[in-house]
């Protein structure tokens, strides 16, 4: 029998609050039922991500992910949640009709780094990874923020891609320490880099060309998301707009910093996060 997820006394709100995530302020100002659901989704993603990132054997990590798969399956069959995070997720599933396949896709995405971590994946694999770890979260969130239809799902996928690419550029050094390199192989080859060892790639003089190319891809997906958001009143989907603006600012800071001092990660001040979020909430979003 598969074991349940490791028990934790921390609830979704506590996990989200202590994460320091850029998502925190936009989630915090949602109405309580939506806020509670988003905290549960975020905490679930945080926990399955931590399973892969934190020390432990591959066998134990695989077992922990399987435990979460079984917990998700059980929740959709009316089973009792085994942790506070699972309890919050059960309520969100019932209230917002979250699709099971997207929760499982998040686990699938995290599992891609088990065993041999991703290193310079082909572009097709890179896109699959982004779809699982970010697009799936967007498709869950859009059901909480608003409703699911073709246009809102297209927004969720565009924004998910843009946010994930920004995260990859922000975390290059941190990921390299874990043996990971998410920069797509085609971008590396185009810049004349044939290596896939993270440390070697990060020292390569052509790295800025690769990072600029990925930043261009992220910016294109931000533009896709912006075009979709322009079709609706500004106060509709304000949470997604706030996330877009905050991450777009982070990407601009990354490009301004350049790709030499990767350890100097730009961070938006809490005051800026709160200000952007409040402006979006009242339908007066600032410039990105």
Phi, psi of 232 (to 5 degrees): -115, 160
| Residue 275 structure tokens | 């200000």
Distance CA 120, CA 126 (A): 9
| Residue 162 structure tokens | 């843009």
pTM: 0.92
8-113 and 116-277 have identical folds? yes
- CATH code of the domain occupying 8-113: 1.10.600.10
| Residue 211 structure tokens | 């990072």
Location of structure tokens 């990132």: 53
Give the fold, CATH level 3, of 116-277.
Farnesyl Diphosphate Synthase (1.10.600)
Residue extents of the structural domains in the chain: 8-113, 116-277
Burial of residue 288 (number of CB atoms within 10 Å: 0-12, 13-18, 19+) = middle
Q: Report the chain (288 residues): mean pLDDT per 10 consecutive residues.
A: 49 63 84 95 94 91 96 95 94 97 97 92 98 97 95 97 97 95 98 96 97 98 97 94 96 95 90 94 91
- Nearest residue to 181 (alpha-carbon basis) of 193, 166, 199: 199
The CA–CA distances, whole Å, from 212 to 35, 206, 215, 226 equal: 35, 10, 5, 20
Specify the pLDDT at position 16.
63
Specify the pLDDT at position 1.
38
Specify the pLDDT at position 254.
97
Helix (H, G, I), strand (E, B) or coil at 193: coil
- Nearest residue to 5 (alpha-carbon basis) of 122, 121, 127, 90: 90
User: 135 with 163: CB under 8 angstroms?
Assistant: no
Specify the pLDDT at position 3.
45
């Amino acid at each position: 029998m598969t074991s349940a997820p490791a028990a934790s006394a921390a609830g979704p709100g506590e996990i989200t609050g202590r994460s320091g995530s850029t998502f925190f302020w936009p989630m915090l100002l949602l109405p309580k039922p939506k806020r509670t659901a988003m905290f549960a989704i975020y905490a679930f993603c945080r926990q399955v991500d931590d399973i892969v990132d934190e020390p432990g054997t591959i066998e134990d990590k695989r077992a922990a992910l399987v435990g979460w798969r079984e917990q998700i399956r059980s929740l959709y069959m009316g089973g009792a949640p085994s942790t506070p995070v699972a309890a919050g997720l059960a309520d969100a599933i019932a209230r917002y009709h979250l699709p099971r396949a997207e929760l499982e896709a998040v686990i699938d995405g995290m599992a891609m780094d088990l065993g041999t971590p991703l290193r310079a994946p082909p572009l097709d694999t890179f896109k699959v990874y982004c779809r699982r770890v970010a697009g799936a979260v967007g498709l869950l969130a859009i059901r909480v923020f608003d409703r699911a239809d073709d246009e809102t799902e297209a927004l969720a996928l565009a924004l998910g891609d843009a946010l994930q690419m920004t995260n990859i550029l922000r975390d290059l050094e941190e990921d390299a320490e874990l043996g990971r390199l998410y920069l797509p192989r085609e971008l590396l080859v185009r810049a004349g880099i044939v290596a896939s060892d993270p440390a070697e790639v990060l020292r390569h003089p052509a790295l800025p060309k690769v990072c600029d190319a990925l930043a261009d891809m992220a910016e294109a997906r931000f533009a896709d998301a912006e075009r979709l958001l322009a079709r609706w009143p500004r106060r509709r989907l304000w949470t997604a707009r706030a996330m877009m603006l905050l991450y777009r600012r982070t990407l601009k800071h990354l490009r301004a910093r350049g790709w030499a001092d990767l350890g100097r990660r730009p961070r938006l001040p809490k005051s800026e996060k709160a200000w952007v979020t409040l402006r979006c909430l009242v339908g007066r979003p600032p410039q990105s």
